[in-house]
Chain A
Amino acid sequence: EAQVTQNPRYLITVTGKKLTVTCSQNMNHEYMSWYRQDPGLGLRQIYYSMNVEVTDKGDVPEGYKVSRKEKRNFPLILESPSPNQTSLYFCAGQGARSGANVLTFGAGSRLTVL
């Protein structure tokens, strides 16, 4: 079954304590991306990656880092989390052969920064 797996699903942390949200896909997708979802704002793209070692900023990249050292994994790193990064985060993937711009989403990671 095609899957995008995120961990952890829920996390409560404190300001300044580095954390990583992992994302793994089993679909051999070239393209992967991270979104955050906030009430009334829909989904906003944080970072995306077109392939291994190729990453670029989305619409709201401040305070986040990513890496793409291998095709299946695309971790989201918060070096020094702040309360305004409290949000619901989604990882998504899309293959070159999939339908136009159709994304497969993970189940989400709810992060609370105190």
Chain B
Amino acid sequence: AQSVTQLDSHVSVSEGTPVLLRCNYSSSYSPSLFWYVQHPNKGLQLLLKYTSAATLVKGINGFEAEFKKSETSFHLTKPSAHMSDAAEYFCVVSEDVGSARQLTFGSGTQLTVLP
């Protein structure tokens, strides 16, 4: 069985400082991992995905995440936060590459960016 834990429900950073959103996963197989972002009153949008290629994955808007199998982590980072990054972020794990049926969502991290 797979599971995903987002370690912080809320993260607050100042504009221009680094962002770190933490995600740990549990999977019996080699998982696929994703980060989605949800801006207020919007649907979820894919930020980036890991599917067993390079362990450092670059996404949109300057975000990246590193797959660390030994630590079962997939933390999301950005060197410099922008006000437009304020949103809710979801870490997602999947064991079955062929079917979105097996996606498991984390509970979300709300990112606040202070001026």
Contacts and interface: CB of A to CB of B under 8 A. Distances in A.
Interface of A: 4, 31, 33, 35, 40-45, 48, 50, 56, 58, 90, 92, 94, 99-103, 105-108
Contacts of B46: 102-103
B45 A105 contact: yes
Contacts of B90: 42-43
Given A99-B49, A100-B51, A100-B94, A4 B105 contact: no
B15 to A, nearest CB: 26
B105 A101 contact: no
A42 B44 contact: no
A107 B90 CA distance: 16
21 contacts: A33-B100, A42-B90, A42-B105, A50-B101, A58-B101, A92-B100, A99-B51, A100-B32, A100-B49, A101-B32, A101-B49, A101-B97, A101-B100, A101-B103, A102-B34, A102-B46, A103-B46, A105-B44, A106-B43, A107-B41, A107-B42
B105 A40 contact: no
Contacts of B55: none
Most buried by A among B32, B45, B103, B105: B103
Leading 4 A-B pairs by shortest Cβ distance: A105-B43, A42-B105, A43-B105, A42-B107
Contacts of A33: 100-101
A90 B44 contact: yes
Interface string B51-88: 10000000000000000000000000000000000000
Nearest to B45: A105
Nearest to A56: B101
Contacts of A94: 100
A42 B90 CA distance: 8
B95 to A, nearest CB: 10
Contacts of B96: 101
A4 B43 contact: yes
B21 to A, nearest CB: 14
